Amino acid sequence: MARERNKLTAIGLRNVGDGKHNDGAGLMLHKKDSGGRWIYRYSFAGVRRDMGLGSYPEVSLAEARKSRDLWASVIASGRDPISTRERQLEAERAELDRRDPTFAEVADAVFEAKKAGLRGDGERGRWFSPIRLHLIPRLGKRRITDIHQSDIRDALAPIWKEKPPTAEKAIQRLHIIFTQAKLSGLAVDPFTVKAAQHMLGEVRHKITSIPATPWQEIPDLFERLDRPGASFQCLRWMILTAVRSEGARGARFSEIDGDVWTIPADRMKGNEGKAQPFRVPLSKAALSIVEYQRQTAAGDLIFSYRRGSYITSTSIEKAMNLLGEVGRPHGFRTSFRTWVQDTEAATYDVAETALTHTIGSKVERSYARSDLLDNRRLLMNKWSGFVAPME
């Protein structure tokens, strides 16, 4: 009997919940939040193996099926798909070593090799952005062995003093690219990047704090934000929970159990593999926002556009601008922390834990493992009573 296949649909995938979803013939989607991973499960020589086929939705259902069928044909020819792919990658790396690649080719190869260790495959933190925006346009088609420090200097000069943080990231990542190129056997010297940095000169970067609404003005702002629209309601949610933008914008009904909202690790700040889920106690005012959003939200996302997708950081910035508010969404955390300090609403460790800040040394943290949920519940109720006394 032929194996059942093509159980999934492209439209249906947008609405399925977290978990493993089988398309048949070995193809599965491991869904989590708005993304996921395609897996091809097969048996070869009596051994079951799982082969990654890419991330969803970057790799569509149709593309995943095409890959599955390709690797199924490899099995039919008597070869193991994973071993075959590894040999192909080795051949590609050997080709990169053999010829004289362009800077863009080497940069892409280095980024691909680093993706596994970066949050969200490097897209969330935009690891590659400084290279893509400021170096590839000028140097991308040049052979990497022909690039001189003066070429790097000329490429980065326009942003060196105007955008120091971006320029610094570009230099750091460029040095990684040159180092990897040298380790691959290419005739390049990572000192070329250091020499270019010396030629660009010293830059004194003045750190500018994110504008924050004074805590005394938060109740008025909270009231002015009481209008229809996911962006406005998300801003109210951010005020009441003191959570960062990405964690708040991705909030889901399924993440809430009673008066506790658990933010999964992949939406928490931190390096890949080190971020942890975080529990947030919800006040009555915060829970009322959840119930209000149930009436209009599409799917599991609490704050979403009508088509059911994440609201963006730009959309909540625009909502603040519409109200003429100078403070920025991330500044709500400063407003909250300053209120705690000025009113002595909680101890230092409770306030810092509420903001998911690291407290104490590594040794101290290994013993103090409590997330102080009960203490934080009292604090967030006090904060809610100040922000929204009538709710």
CATH number reported for the structural domain that contains residue 40 in this entry: 3.30.160.390
Domain boundary among 142, 176, 200: 200
The pLDDT value recorded for residue 365 is 43
**Residue 153 within a domain:** yes
**Residue 207 within a domain:** no
Same domain, 246 and 337: yes
Strand partners, 279: 262
Same domain, 112 and 74: no
Strand partners, 107: none
Same domain, 196 and 320: no
**Residue 206 within a domain:** no
The pLDDT value recorded for residue 275 is 63
Same domain, 131 and 176: yes
Q: Which amino acid is at 15?
A: N
CATH number reported for the structural domain that contains residue 123 in this entry: 1.10.150.130
Domain that holds residue 191: 99-200
The pLDDT value recorded for residue 27 is 93
The pLDDT value recorded for residue 224 is 92
The pLDDT value recorded for residue 119 is 55
CB count within 10 Å of CB 354 equals 26
Same domain, 127 and 266: no
Same domain, 181 and 237: no
Same domain, 185 and 252: no
Domain boundary among 83, 110, 139: 83
**Residue 376 within a domain:** yes
The pLDDT value recorded for residue 204 is 57
Helical axes 284-294 vs 230-241, angle rounded to 10°: 160
Same domain, 114 and 239: no
What are the CA-CA distances from residue 196 to residues 168, 238, 312 (Å)? 12, 43, 37
Pinpoint the alpha helices (H) of the chain. 10-13, 61-76, 81-98, 103-114, 129-134, 136-139, 149-160, 164-183, 191-200, 218-224, 230-241, 245-249, 284-294, 313-322, 331-343, 348-354, 362-367, 373-387
The pLDDT value recorded for residue 366 is 45
**Residue 91 within a domain:** no
The pLDDT value recorded for residue 103 is 93
Domain boundary among 52, 83, 114: 83
The pLDDT value recorded for residue 391 is 60
The pLDDT value recorded for residue 268 is 76
**Residue 4 within a domain:** no
Give the three-state DSSP class for 37. Answer: strand
Same domain, 140 and 232: no
Same domain, 103 and 31: no
The pLDDT value recorded for residue 98 is 63
Q: What is the pTM of this model?
A: 0.52
Same domain, 147 and 123: yes
**Residue 229 within a domain:** yes
How far apart are the two ends of the chain, measured CA to CA in Å?
62
Same domain, 15 and 123: no
CATH number reported for the structural domain that contains residue 246 in this entry: 1.10.443.10
Pinpoint the alpha helices (H) of 161-262. 164-183, 191-200, 218-224, 230-241, 245-249
The pLDDT value recorded for residue 101 is 86
pLDDT along the chain (391 residues), means of 10: 66 86 91 88 91 89 92 93 88 68 90 69 67 93 92 92 87 92 87 91 62 89 90 92 88 91 79 69 92 84 79 88 87 90 88 77 47 89 89 60
**Residue 205 within a domain:** no
Domain tally, the chain = 3
